[in-house]
Each structure stands twice: as structure tokens, then as C-alpha cells.
Structure 1
């Protein structure tokens, strides 16, 4: 296979080490000539990059070049693929996204509800700039975006770049859930074939089979109900918040047993319960700052100081491996099937054609080819259309700089629904996001 040049945009992310280990584990799947990190935060990126340099010298000697930079031309020139994982405003703004809604008894979460709206409004401008910059220097590169909130970002990118067929929005949550299914069955996750429909962070598994056609859907449902449900991916398996999330997925299945739910649906189906469990002084952002970020930075310091991986335990993760495998399928025309976001265009036949749906899709060198889902039942159709209306109005509000459209969006969102709460939360988020959002007109 011809070796490729990859840039990781957001090189300072705490997820980058997992991607590095995944690139190493999958070096035969996606062989690289050159790897580059790009980030606007020089100091944050440098710590991750210097540790990565040590890792790559030990584990990926075949790599011709590794560099990290804040220079766009240096980062994006002559690349074959870009992984985009930015967080505009960083964890400090994520904490505000979570704290402000909680003051009004509304879910504080980075992708769902008002927090997701705030994060999406911040992300859109930077995402537009990044895609334009990459296209300036590498017009044919594959751009794989997994920046949250992916649903809002994907809707905005669809409008801004309608003819860009090498721009794919992708999320690792379905495969992370499938990893738990696979471990439950004693199977390799890559041997499972899912049926799935929905929006990003808002979908359902209809069927789980293996490649031989054996259907394990009912077995999985029975095991979850009777034995419980736990996360098993290395990145989240020991995280108490994720353990609670997977436990709630069991409740969702028991309440609505038609399909296996995406874990994020908990925020929309039980918003009052979820809001009551959250603490403004110990938000998920604060837990990440004191937990994963601290752990990753301490690991980097140890690697840099010793100039060795000796005594350090690092492994690939499902998030990184998924990105690498999906990229390889696009680049090398492998025609493998993954759950990604695509324009509906009749895939789910009884919802609008312009919705960005998340469905099983064959990834080819000619782009994604989604498999038809057909009609979906009324309950799920209603939920999806309501959620999409919210997402569409957020993006309308961004483009039109409209306070009214954002207010409509929050009022529709199942985590809010109350107009007075929507107004109060929106007004505080506007103040908190000065300099990040376009100025909204009333």
C-alpha cells in the first residue's frame, strides 16, 4: 500500500495519544509516510507532541517524518487525510456550557441541550476556516471531522460546502457501544455488523449480526436487562460517569424495547433525572480537567523525562482504531461498512431528504454510500424530526445571526421545552460566549 501523509488537527487533545497508539496498531491498515500535529495552542500541543515523538521513535520507526506546528501551510500542504478534533474555547468554555443550564434545572452537557448549542455555535466558525485552509493547500485530501457537537457541525458544513465530497462527519460512540456488545458476546467488535438509524448522538441499533449472518440482537437485549450493561472500551471503562450512562441505557431499553439505544438518548428521555444528578461545582468538564487531562499530561511528562515508554502503559483505543480503519477504507477503496453521518436523500424514507442522518455506510474512494433504512416507526420518527428541527434552527440562527431562531431551537429541545428557561439560559450563554459567537440580532 502507498504510504500517506496525515495531519491531526487539535494535536493538543488528550485523545491524541490514543490515536497515536491506534495508528501504530493499525500501521498495516493505514501506512504513513509523514504525521503532523496542528493546533492553535502551542504550549498544550507541545507536551503531547514531545511525548508522541518518543512513542513514534520506539513504535513506528517506519515513519519518515513527524512534526508539530501552529503554521497552517506547514500543516496542511500535500496531505492525504486530516483528522479534525477541535474544541473551540477549550475545557474552560465547556464548563460554562454545563454550569449555566444547570442553574435553571436543565441538563448541562457538552453536546446535548443548551450546552451543545453553545459549543456548536463556537465550533462552526473555526470549522469553516479549517476546511477552507485545508482545501487551499490540499484540495483532494480526505477530511474526517469528529468535532463535537457533530450533528450541528455536520449540518453547518453541509450548507457551507455542499459540493465537497471528501468531507466526512464521523462519531465513535456507536462503535464504543458495539465494543461493549462484542465483549458481552465474546466476539471481536470488527466481526459485528450493525443495523442502525438516527442522528448523531440520537440513534438506535435495530440489529446486531456477525459476518456469517447470526443475529445476536435478542441475546444482547436479554443480557443487558438481566445482567446489566457496562462500558468496556479502555478510554471509558473505568470512568464512573460512563458507567452510570451505560446503566441508564439499560433503563432506556426496558422502557422502549424495540431497539438498542445510543447512550446519549438518556439526556432527552430523562432530562429532569439527569439534570438532578449533575453538580455545578463538579461538572463533567471539571472531572475531565482533574481526571483524564491530568492523567494524560502526567503520562506525557514521564515519557518526555525518561525519553522512553518504559514503565508506561499506553494502548490503542476504539476511538482511534475506528478513525484509522474508516480513513483507510476511503483512501484505499476497501468498501468497508461503518456508521457515519450522510445526507439522508431517502435513506430513511419517511423523514426529510436534507437531514444529516447517522446510518451504516460503505466507505469507498468515491465517497460514502449509505444503505437504505426504509420507514421508521412513528415514535422514533417524531423524536428525530423534533431533534433535527432544533439542530436546523441552531444553524439557521448562526447564519442569520438570529436570536429568535436560537430561542426557537432551545424551546424545541427536549432538555428545555420551557420558553422562560430557554430565554434565561440563552441570555447567559450569549454573555459567556462574547467573542466566540456571531452577534445575535433580536
Structure 2
């Protein structure tokens, strides 16, 4: 089997060691000859890079490894770009969350005004990566899971329509893993799902096993009572996630014919989300005090000891989805996977230009979206509003339009009025002046 060259863009991320460990666990399925990290923050990447160098030396010394801030070194001679960048890092995420909460509006990483602010930062960063890939390795594929994926996907659709980029998200995969636990299955791969929607904004309408048996009745009964919390699971170590998975039961009650993505809580119950939020300590603070300290602490210990033996780094399960996607392209497996793709009639009664998240068959030519047919008015109406928000954000970025950005925030289902929207936009614009295009 061919051996592949991979660059992880966002090499300084706390998720990078987990992705490396998952790649190492899958070398028989996806052999790697070269692994590179790229980040524009050299100091942050150095800690992760030095620790991973030791990990790779111990577990796979045959893999050529380097980390760099030089795009030509990083992107030359690669088959796949695995991109998970965070423009502005956690200090800007903290502002994305806390500024809307000051005005009684959902403060969340990818939803509402915070997600819009993050999108305005991410577009330029992802486009830069696409440019590097096309310049130095024009036959490579980018597997992009940089957030907010919906806005990034809309921007790449419009600004680089012929780029070999696939936009993906691990959230439905995580929920499907919980569904498999609820059903007593060993893996989500024992299920065949029909899902439709937008990124962080979708519904499962059918789930069967490979023998064609309908698994939805058992799942509906469980979710109606417990949400996506399996009976075998102890309390999640982060209360915010436990609450999110439990809240699925209330989202489900709105349409018991489908099973919802958990992110819908931010759009359907924004008042409750705000009420249960601490405007002084948000999810960003949880991550800074938790995952950031844990991962960087472990990496520094590895460097000090000169060994990754007994290190407490966690294998990143969502990376297995990335390996599956890379294999599907490289080996033309035609695996069925959820991707964010142009609708182009797959959902019959919806905007053909919308970037929708639906099952696709993936091979060497990219994704082949599966037909969804018509969707109900409830989902169609919610999706139409959210697609308009995402398109207006990209309009604002391209045109440098304050007006379009104000319209986008005003249209978000999380925001109560245009007056509140303007206050939030003005404050977000001020703190993002080093990241957003100039708005007029």
C-alpha cells in the first residue's frame, strides 16, 4: 500500500497529540511516510512538536517528522492537509462567548454572534491554507475541520470553488457514538444513518443496522427520557457537556419523528442557555483551565523525561473519522460519510447553493452526495434562516460590509432584536480589529 505524506495545520493545538496517536493506531490502514506540523505560532507549536517528536521516535521511527512555521516546507510534497486552526486562539474565543452574554444573548463558540465573530476570523486563515496547498502540493486534499465549519464551508464554496477541500465535523460522529452505546452496539459503524441539516444544525431521520432493522424506536424512547446520556455512563467530567447531552430530550420533544443535533439547543432554547451561563466563566475558561493545562503539562513532562512512556495523552477518537475520510479518498473505498457539501438538489425543497451536512459516498473523486428528498417545514424554515445568516457573514467578509454583518447578527435566531445585535457587533468589531477585514 502507498505510504502517505500528511501535514497537520494547527500543529500547536491541544488536539494535535490525540490526532497523532490516532494516526499511529491506524498505520496498518493508513501508512504514513512523512508527518509535518504547521502553525504560525512557533512557540506554542514547539511544545507540542517536541513532545510528538519523542512519541513518534518511540512508536514509529520510520516516519519522517518535522514541525515548522514555513509554509513552503510544510505544504510541499504532501497528500493530505488536516486543518484544525483557531484564529485568535482561546483569548478571542473567550471574548466571543462573554461579549454576547453581556447583552443576554447566547455566548457560544460556533453559534450565534460568537460563532459569527469566529467565522469572520477563520475565513482568511483557511483560505490562506488552501492557497499554500494549491501552490506547493496541487494534487493534495484538505480535510478541514476548522470551526465554525458552516461559515468556512460557505466561504470556500464561493471563493475557491474548485479547491480540493472537504469540510467535516466530528459532532454528529460523537453523538452517533453515544447512540451506539445506548443501543449496546460496539461501534457507530454498525449503524447506517440518514441525516440532514447544516453544520451544528441537523437531524437524524432514520437509523438502521446493516440487516435493515429500524433502530429509531429504541433510540427515541431513550432520548425522550435521558437525552444522549447512556445508562452505563458515569457523570461527564465537564458539567456543560453533561447538560448539553441531557438537553437533547427537550429538543427532541419539538419533533419526535427525528433525533436532533445537540447544538440546536442554542437556537431553540437560547433564554435557558443564557440563564444557565456564567458570564464571567464560560466554556473557554473551562478549556483554558482544563484541557490546555493538561495537554501542555503532559507534553512538557514528555520533553523533560525524554520519553512518552506512561504519558497521559488521550487518543482523539474523532481523528478516526479523519483517517476514514483520508482512506476513502486515497483508496476509493466509497465509504458512506457525513460531509458538508453544496446541496445541489440533494434536499429537493431547499436552497441548491446552501452548504448542507448530509451523507455522501466518498471516493478518489471526492464526495457523491446522497439524495435526501423533501424535508418538513419545521426543519426547512429553521435551516433557511440559518443559511441566510451564514451567507450574510461571508458577504460581510468579502465586501467589508458592516451592514451585512449587522444583518447577519440580527437574523440569528439567538438574538432578540436589531438593537441588541448592533451593540454586540460594535463591541465584537472593536476587539477583532486585528483579525477581521475593515468594515465600512
TM-score class, shorter: over 0.9
1:301 alignment counterpart? 300
Instruction: Verify: 1:279 aligned to 2:278, yes or no.
Output: yes
| 8 Å Cα contact 2:100-2:107 kept in structure 1 | yes
Please give the alpha-carbon distance, in whole angstroms, between the structure 1 residues aligned to 2:431 and 2:276. Answer: 24
Q: CA deviation at 1:59?
A: 2.2
Please give the alpha-carbon distance, in whole angstroms, between the structure 1 residues aligned to 2:406 and 2:226. Answer: 42
Q: CA deviation at 1:298?
A: 1.0
2:190 alignment counterpart? 191
| 8 Å Cα contact 1:231-1:237 kept in structure 2 | no
Please give the alpha-carbon distance, in whole angstroms, between the structure 1 residues aligned to 2:209 and 2:17. Answer: 30
Task: Summarize deviations over 1:59-105 as a string: whole Å, max 9, x none.
Answer: 22342x01100010100001000011111111001111111100100
Task: Summarize deviations over 1:257-315 as a string: whole Å, max 9, x none.
Answer: 12110111110000111012111211111111001111111111122222223332334
| 8 Å Cα contact 2:393-2:404 kept in structure 1 | yes
Task: Summarize deviations over 1:399-430 as a string: whole Å, max 9, x none.
Answer: 11111111111111000040110010001011
2:154 alignment counterpart? 155
1:168 alignment counterpart? 166
- Structure 1 segments (4+ residues) deviating >6 Å: none
Please give the alpha-carbon distance, in whole angstroms, between the structure 1 residues aligned to 2:206 and 2:41. Answer: 42
SS in 1 for 2:318: helix
1:40 alignment counterpart? 40
Q: CA deviation at 1:355?
A: 0.4
Q: CA deviation at 1:231?
A: 7.5
SS in 2 for 1:353: coil
Please give the alpha-carbon distance, in whole angstroms, between the structure 2 residues aligned to 1:226 and 1:403. Answer: 44
Which range moved further: 174-183 or 223-232?
A: 223-232
The TM-score normalised by the length of structure 2 is: 0.97
| 8 Å Cα contact 1:175-1:318 kept in structure 2 | no
1:312 alignment counterpart? 311
| Structure 1, unpaired ranges of 5+ | none
2:140 alignment counterpart? 141
Which range moved further: 146-155 or 304-313?
A: 304-313
Please give the alpha-carbon distance, in whole angstroms, between the structure 2 residues aligned to 1:365 and 1:263. Answer: 32
What is the aligned residue count? Answer: 438
Which range moved further: 205-214 or 328-337?
A: 205-214
The TM-score normalised by the length of structure 1 is: 0.96
Q: How does 1:135-284 map to 2 (within 5 A)?
A: 135-164=134-163, 166-187=164-185, 188-230=187-229, 237-284=236-283
* Residue 237 to residue 140, structure 1, CA distance change in 2 (3 Å): farther
SS in 2 for 1:318: coil
Q: CA deviation at 1:227?
A: 4.3
Q: CA deviation at 1:237?
A: 4.8
1:362 alignment counterpart? 361
Cα RMSD (Å): 1.6
